């Protein structure tokens, strides 16, 4: 038997002081196998833009009678033309509250960091960004 939850695409995005680190892999639970691993780092000053858009997708789910047809995708575009596509939301799939990440706050944070990295001002002070979720989890970014 092959169950639709036996293969997962895993995306990890880490925001540091001066760059974004990204890791992606596919994980097959049935065979305990990791495939299609890739990673990349983008320095903020080398990033062109961040976009959010809704794209058409097509796949079936055991929990939905109808096919899943759209997904929200955040695109981080590097000056070289590389594009980092993150699937940030699939509206038809219901996620438990403990797994929901406030992607809008993360996107705003990345935009602030991009603006800060692109602005050349010797007198500027470091910025500190904090956001919280319930239960309280804190992420602090100090940008020099």
Structural domain that includes position 51:
7-143
The tens digit of pLDDT for each residue in 64-114 reads 667 777 778 888 889 898 888 887 777 666 666 666 677 788 888 888 888
121 three-state secondary structure? coil
Torsion sign across C-alpha atoms 71, 27, 99, 101? negative
The pLDDT of residue 37: 95
Domain assignment present for residue 100? The answer is yes
Supply the DSSP string of 58-111, one letter for each residue: EE--TT-SSPEEEEEEEEEEETTS-EEEEEEE-TTS---GGG---HHHHHHHHH
Kindly indicate the confidence band of residue 34, based on its pLDDT and cuts at 50, 70 and 90.
very high
Least confident of 72-76, 91-95, 122-126, 135-139: 135-139
Count: domains in the chain: 1
The tens digit of pLDDT for each residue in 42-67 reads 898 888 888 888 877 776 666 666 77
Q: How far is residue 74's CA from residue 89's CA, in Å, rounded to a whole number?
A: 9
Domain assignment present for residue 55? The answer is yes
Domain assignment present for residue 2? The answer is no
Domain assignment present for residue 1? The answer is no
Domain assignment present for residue 134? The answer is yes
Domain assignment present for residue 63? The answer is yes
């Amino acid at each position: 038997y092959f169950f639709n939850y036996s293969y997962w695409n895993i995306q990890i995005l880490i925001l540091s002081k001066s760059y974004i680190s990204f890791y992606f892999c596919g994980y097959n639970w049935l065979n305990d196998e990791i495939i299609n691993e890739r990673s990349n780092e983008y320095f903020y000053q080398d990033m062109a833009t961040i976009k959010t858009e809704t794209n058409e997708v097509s796949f079936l789910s055991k929990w939905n009678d109808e096919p899943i047809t759209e997904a929200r995708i955040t695109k981080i575009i590097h000056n070289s033309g590389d594009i980092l596509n993150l699937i940030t939301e699939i509206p038809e799939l219901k996620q438990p509250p403990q797994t929901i990440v406030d992607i809008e706050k993360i996107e705003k944070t990345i935009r602030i960091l991009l603006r800060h990295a692109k602005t050349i001002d010797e007198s500027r002070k470091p910025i500190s960004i904090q956001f919280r979720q319930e239960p309280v989890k804190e992420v602090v970014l100090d940008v020099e």
